[in-house]
Structure 1
């Protein structure tokens, strides 16, 4: 008996059938088997967020996600966020705001922010929703505050300290996202 498991995944819109050891992480599967190296291995302990991808629309740290546990799922990596070869507005905002320095964490930051904006659009709450700092509770404005962006992105670390630019990039990209949000 082997420890191999046949997986069926849809990665960035493309179907894949792969055989992987049942102990393989999604991160290793993406990088080593599917050659999608945009997703980075940072701490390999789920603490830095460099390996963040979306599985069925939810953010996950791929270094802690067993590939076998997501059989049949849709996975979105940094390589799949662009739109027809053009940068996604979030990716463009990172460029425009210089939301990176060394760039190592950038794929995870963008992947996390992409999923976070979808979470926000569907009305998922955060801790800052309840702390009284959001004017939208009284005014009906649904724009993300910088405090809320920082709280929602807390699982992604930038060792270079580009946080102000990352928050600004997400804020710019969120302007588009708030148009679709229903309170």
Structure 2
């Protein structure tokens, strides 16, 4: 194959492989450039970090404490010596004991104190019953007695509409009516 044929074949091969359009070529080129830019910036950051320079770009405002970069609420001790004379005196004494249970912190609950008082009242009643048995029996009988529990009120009937004389007249009239042979009214 001579030179012209080789050139013609390479052009044909290039035409066949060129199936992408202009836009696809541009997008691929931009994507490749962005990847190269990202790798370069990553390499630059790594080199700066190895050199001891930590230059991070923080977007936006810094609000509060950066817990990754600093120790929160750190109070550095003042430079110089610290007097420890008072500490040697406290070693022999018992330090303040912090409360460990909820009852020690909050104190006794009202429900618990009421239950304790109820138990004491029941115990007092039992002791009183043992000492004065006859009066407690009378008191228990009085509580169990139905008449003392429910006192019945007086019955208030309505005033009669018929007098005694009228009632006697109706009764005699009814007897006369029955004596004449009328069995039903």
Question: Does TM-score exceed 0.5, indicating one fold?
Answer: no
The one of the two structures with greater contact order (alpha-carbon pairs below 8 A, sep at least 6) is: 1
Question: TM class by shorter-chain length?
Answer: under 0.3
Structure number with the higher strand fraction is: 1
Q: What is the TM-score with the length of structure 2 in the denominator? A: 0.17
Over alpha carbons, which structure has the higher Rg? 2
